[in-house]
Amino acid sequence: GWSAARTGGARFRVMEAEELAAYDAVLRQRPAGGIRFTGTGQVSEPQAVRDALLAAFAANGGQTIHADATAVRPGAGAAEVALSDGTVIHADRVVVAAGAWSERLMAPFGVRAPLIGERGYSVQSAEHDWPADLPLTVFEDRALAVARFDGGLRASSHVEFGAPSAPPDPRKWRSIEAHLRELGVAFSAQPDRWCGPRPTLPDYLPAIGRLNAHPQVHYAFGHQHLGLTTAARTAEIVEQMALGRPAPGWTDALRIERFG
């Protein structure tokens, strides 16, 4: 199956016996086999990426406002953002990048953004014995991914489609934790639990562009599982558009107007 898959710049090979033996230290039973990928990457701590971006934004004169945006409205050659506390922010340009919650912000402009929350679940433990040189590992027979970050060991699984703000299903966390126990992975008995909605559109492509009818409004959402992976390139494209520079021709296929 992997031989037929499009893996881009990543390559893989069958794991050697000594590579499988490295799991003896962290699993109850050695994997029967596996494949090892190269040409890939992993951030050391996702939250640290966010913190670094915010710090760079502030260093370049950016201002951060912590509030809920309830509406984005077009103005005369500009736009305004209404906040839940009644504040209205006027701007020359606005970028709607609210993930799975972007649909309601785009509705006033007469475009469809048929997003759904492709919700995933994970648990994380600061207590673990997973060595730093053991890579992110996917147990395909369990649909379980285990990865070490600076902040702890994280195990992820499950995909469910639903409303972005729907309450999580605790059975999903219990399922992940049961797999970890069966595998023998050292993990906290009370791990940090997370559930989040990946913003997904029906064709599994993101929406990146500026509105035809309201060119002061830009948007960037719908990156499903690849938000962190494609964030930098998306930001470059939005910057080009906002500055009136030509964007790559293939971004025409990502216009939100494709949904009517």
pLDDT in tens, 98-156: 999 999 999 989 999 999 999 999 999 999 999 999 999 999 999 999 999 999 999 99
The string of DSSP letters for 212-233 reads SS-TTEEEEE--GGGHHHHHHH
- Torsion angle of alpha carbons 30, 193, 159, 7, nearest 10°? -50
Report how far residue 233's alpha carbon sits from residue 216's, in angstroms, rounded to the nearest whole number. 20
Who has greater pLDDT, 95 or 76? 95
- Give residue-wise pLDDT tens across range 17-29: 999 999 999 999 9
Q: How far is CA 63 from CA 94, 96, 139, in A?
A: 14, 16, 43
Model confidence pLDDT, tens digit, residues 232-242:
999 999 999 99
Residue 130: CB atoms within 10 A of its CB come to 19
What is the per-residue pLDDT across 152-210, written as a single tens digit (0 to 9) for each? 999 999 999 999 999 999 999 999 999 999 999 999 999 999 999 999 999 999 999 99
Q: Say if residues 153 and 139 touch (Cβ distance below 8 Å).
A: no
Pairing outcome for strands 152-162 and 144-149: antiparallel
Domains assigned to the chain: 11-39+116-200 (3.30.9.10), 46-115+202-259 (3.50.50.60)
Q: What is the mean pLDDT of residues 250-257?
A: 96
Q: Which residues contact 99 (CB under 8 A, 6 or more apart)?
A: 164, 197, 198, 199, 221, 227
